[in-house]
Amino acid sequence: MKFNFFRSSLFLAAVLLPLGAQAQGVIGGASEGAAQGENKAGPIGAVLGGIVGGVVGGIDGLIGIDQRPRFHEYVIAQHRTSYRYDRELRVGVVLPPSGLDYYDIPAEYGRNRYRYGVINGHTVLVDPHTNTIVQIID
């Protein structure tokens, strides 16, 4: 009985981990993971999805859902120029290596290995080593 529950839990975690990876922030990740887990596997899926989503959503460097409004206000106050990008703007897009300005994220938003930029009027977090969008703030 315990082995079957453990095996089921591992299976659900493997299925839900990619779903939770799209969630942003601990709170958003937990709630989105729970909802998606419940849709896929009922109450047990909701519990596991919430845990997995919360862990994935809390990855170092991402701005949590509770910090987004404050960070958005910070960026607006900085009067950054918006870069025009002609393709779809989404997490995972690799941006051109030149032409876009990246800025440091203040320490008050946590330990952060990413930088931010403004693209098509949206604030995005970018991995400075790969120019990959890792989070869209607004």
Of 43, 56, 42, 62, residue with least CA distance to 14: 56
E strands present in 6-131:
103-104, 115-119, 122-127
- 0.75 exceeded by the pTM? no
pLDDT means per 10 residues, the chain with 138 residues, are 54 47 47 62 63 54 87 94 93 92 90 91 94 91
The CA-based dihedral angle spanning residues 122, 83, 89, 71, taken in that order and rounded to the nearest 10 degrees: -30
Alpha carbon distances (Å) from 113 to 31, 59, 107, 117, 138: 25, 11, 11, 14, 19
Alpha carbon distances (Å) from 108 to 14, 57, 105: 34, 18, 8
DSSP single-letter state for residue 106: P
Amino acid identity, residue 21?
A
Q: How many Cβ atoms from other residues are within 10 Å of residue 98's Cβ?
A: 6
pLDDT tens profile 2-41: 555 545 554 544 444 444 444 444 445 555 555 666 666 6
Q: What is the pLDDT of residue 17?
A: 45
Q: What is the pLDDT of residue 24?
A: 45
